[in-house]
Amino acid sequence: MSKHKIRIGISHGDINGIGYEVIMKTLMDTRILEMCTPVVYGSPKVAAYHRKALNLNNFNFNNIQNANEADPRRANIINCIDDNIRVELGKSSGIAGEASYMALERAVNDLKAGEIDALVTAPINKDNIQSDKFNFPGHTEFLAQQFETDNYLMLMVSEMMKIGVVTTHIPLSEVSAGITKKAILSKLRIISSSLEQDFSIKKPRIAVLGLNPHAGDGGLLGSEEKEIIMPAIEQAKNEGILALGPYPSDGFFGSGDYVKFDAILAMYHDQGLTPFKLASFDKGVNYTAGLPFIRTSPAHGTAFDIAGEDKASPDSLRQALYLAIDIHKSRELYKEISKNPLKKFEINPNQVDETIDLQSNDGPEI
């Protein structure tokens, strides 16, 4: 297993939001540097503006030109934008959108080149970033296109639950058409694989939610459950995936049944993200499963309304950083076991991070 301290890129997001606030508050904890070498893709000038606005006098970035120059004992930053850029706290602007894209582009290029091991993305504004270079609903779809993959999943992660969605950033009127057996199967395969490789969960249990109220009520309130969702679940079981359902989402979350599962597959964005954010808004993480690299992001947005007011909690970005580190370690462990299956009996669970769950549903299995 690789022993080197991983290098994590952090794209600065929208310069007029809370991105720099949560990044700097996270990196002020020097214990972070014991786990990874952070490289922020952004602007030293913009960082200085936010540092002054927030009175964070006890923090400074190490300015570098390239990721391979990163000092493992410092929080590093690479300038990706024009120094003449203007910060307008709390405002959405085309300039801010362009700055978001330029930092993201540089980080992705370094990711492709192997200069960084994982990427954490601070929040962007999905409207002002739109251009001829970025014509996507968000980070997830852009990154999938950059790495030429159609098999990916937005997986929301917290200590309480992991929730993926079949359809993501589409109008509610188009959700039913997007619910197909093929789409559900694809997401179930990704979740199952990710839970094993990225989270070290053996034989994961996955709950599948219904689309309609009361999961269709036997066809009375909709036919998608009987005609699409249930056949997809049966096919998944035939492939060795432990998928169960479909469950009515209101009763499923209201009764607390979600704690019995390793992950949940919701049919559409708000069905999954509403209960997730209700339970884990400050500490939730958005993870893009299925990509050939690790990408995490805080579960919140740009929060223009509190930008520069020292009110933003860094917890979600901190957890995104921790999760990227843990997934990297879990993937390394999975690769090692795959090469030598007998190696798993030599692993000391006390040497594995507490955030990585090595428990199966049948009891401990190392």
CA distance 308 to 243: 45
Identify the helix (H) or strand (E) that includes residue 143: helix 139-146
Q: Average pLDDT in the 296-321 region?
A: 95
DSSP H stretches of helix in 198-310: 224, 230-238, 249-254, 269-280
Percent of the chain with pLDDT over 90: 81
Which DSSP state fits 5? P
For residue 40, pLDDT over 60 is answered with: yes
CATH architecture type of domain 150-287: 3-Layer(aba) Sandwich (3.40)
Report the pLDDT value the prediction gives residue 348, as an integer from 0 to 100: 41
Report the pLDDT value the prediction gives residue 308, as an integer from 0 to 100: 95
CA distance 264 to 193: 14
Q: Quote the mean pLDDT of the chain.
A: 90
For residue 50, pLDDT over 80 is answered with: yes
For residue 300, pLDDT over 80 is answered with: yes
- Hey, where are the domains in the chain? 1-148+291-314, 150-287
Identify the helix (H) or strand (E) that includes residue 294: strand 294-298
For residue 103, pLDDT over 90 is answered with: yes
Asked if the peptide bond before residue 246 counts as cis, ω within 30 degrees of 0, the response is yes
Report the pLDDT value the prediction gives residue 354, as an integer from 0 to 100: 36
Give residue 114's pLDDT band: very low, low, confident or very high (50, 70, 90).
very high
pLDDT tens digits along 127-146 = 999 999 999 988 989 999 99
Q: Average pLDDT in the 32-48 region?
A: 97
Among the four given CATH numbers 2.40.420.20, 2.60.40.1930, 3.40.718.10, 3.30.1330.10, the one describing domain 1-148+291-314 = 3.40.718.10
pLDDT tens digits along 163-215 = 999 998 889 999 999 999 999 999 999 999 999 999 999 999 999 999 999 99
Report the pLDDT value the prediction gives residue 345, as an integer from 0 to 100: 41
Q: How many CB atoms lie within 10 A of CB 190?
A: 19
For residue 116, pLDDT over 90 is answered with: yes
Same fold, 1-148+291-314 and 150-287: yes
Report the pLDDT value the prediction gives residue 3, as an integer from 0 to 100: 52
Report the pLDDT value the prediction gives residue 342, as an integer from 0 to 100: 56
Q: Average pLDDT in the 10-34 region?
A: 96
Closest CA to 159 of 276, 265, 255, 273: 276
Report the pLDDT value the prediction gives residue 240, as an integer from 0 to 100: 97
Which residue's entry shows tokens 């933003």?
Answer: 312
Percent of the chain with pLDDT over 70: 92
For residue 366, pLDDT over 60 is answered with: no
Write the DSSP assignment of 172-202 as a string of letters: GGGHHHH--HHHHHHHHHHHHHHHHHTT--S
Q: Which of 86-90, 180-184, 359-363 has the lowest mean pLDDT?
A: 359-363
For residue 20, pLDDT over 70 is answered with: yes
